[in-house]
Chains A and B, each alone.
Chain A
Amino acid sequence: MSQKQQYLMGVRAGIPVILGFVPVGIAYAIMAQQAGFTTSEIILMSITVFAGASQMMAVGMYVQGASIVAMILATFILNLRHLIMSTCVVSRMKNEKIGRKLLATFGVTDESFAIFTTEKEENCSALYFLGLITVTYSSWIAGSAIGAVASRFLPAILSASLGIALYAMFIGILIPNAKHNLRLGILIALTAVVNSILTHFIASSWALIVSTLVCAAIGVFFVDLSKQEDTADEQ
């Protein structure tokens, strides 16, 4: 496969994310605007941080008068999960220069991670991932910019309905995998239950990390992943 083909394959895989990122970017920008951020600050944060949930959380904390240190610390904790995700992503890039990897890992988000790590192994390369994040990064910035500039022209029920998009994307990736592998399906259900329970006792960012790691560790002992590559063929 040529380099251009690898890159374009990643771009194509990223297209569904546009439907998720643009609306969430708009929602973030509206929140930030109401908190008193200027248009350039809203867009600069999306360009440099590129992590939707933590950007929204920081804006929410800013409104409540939190200190800068507290907001940065909360961002760090919420985004620690990227350490695990990035490890999975980088382990699928064979024989790549470190510069390319450093560039690629800037774009590790829940979505790019989910798409890349469930892609067929032989399709995975740094260029594929760069193509993928070209789409996710630009739709995140575009969404933030649209929200900052044009929020008052969007009908409220449309922006509200778009909130389901990211979840629908994860469901769209998970279900076909679970359907072909009952034990994997059981593990997925178990994780959902564990996380729902943990969320009542510890901060949801920690609950997410703990339930992801603990349940994956449990899964090592009873899930068979050898069939998974076939599922990817059919998609």
Chain B
Amino acid sequence: MNSSIFLLITGMAVVTYIPRAIPAVLIEKMKFSPRMEKFLRLIPYTAMAALIFPGVLTVDAERLSIGIVGAIVAGIFAWRKMPVMVSVAAAILADLLLYIIT
């Protein structure tokens, strides 16, 4: 194995694990106010929203339609209360069809 790549991988592993592990060590010492607790409970929703937009538009950087159609199909299935797995499969199939017919 190339030693500079080994160094890169080791460094990446360390700097990625540290932010993940800090709360495991410190959380017992933290006491959250109700407002702070609400803030923490809202983060999943805002984080997912930020992860989706605008990233979903660049699924295929050359074809905006791939991201848009996939997202809309997933949205429709989710709206109809389908299991997450079904929404995911439907979005993949829709994009596959779009690639085939265009």
Contact = CB atoms under 8 A, between A and B. Distances in A.
Given A75-B12, A157-B100, A225-B38, A168 B70 contact: yes
A20 interface: yes
A102 interface: yes
Contacts of A40: 1
Interface string B55-92: 11001100000110011011101110111110111111
A7 interface: no
Interface residues of A, number: 96
Contacts of B81: 176, 234-235
B5 A37 contact: yes
State the main secondary structure of chain A at its contact with B: helix
A6 interface: no
Interface string B19-40: 1111111010000100101111
A102 B21 contact: yes
Given A91-B32, A98-B24, A110 B52 contact: no
Contact of B92 (A51, A88, A168): A168
A82 B19 CA distance: 6
B9 A212 contact: no
Given A161-B99, A164-B67, A176 B78 contact: yes
A175 B78 contact: yes
Nearest to A113: B44
Contact of A164 (B22, B45, B46, B71): B71
Given A86-B23, A165-B92, A41 B2 contact: yes
A160 B66 contact: yes
B52 A106 contact: no
A136 interface: no
Interface in A184-211: 184, 187-189, 191-196, 199, 204, 207-208, 211
Nearest to A96: B24
B60 to A, nearest CB: 6
A215 B46 contact: yes
A98 B24 CA distance: 7
A163 B48 contact: no
A48 B32 CA distance: 32
Contacts of B16: 49-51, 54, 75-76, 79, 82
Interface of B: 1-2, 4-13, 15-17, 19-25, 27, 32, 35, 37-56, 59-60, 66-67, 70-71, 73-75, 77-79, 81-85, 87-93, 95-96, 99-100
7 contacts: A38-B2, A102-B21, A108-B20, A117-B44, A161-B95, A187-B42, A187-B46
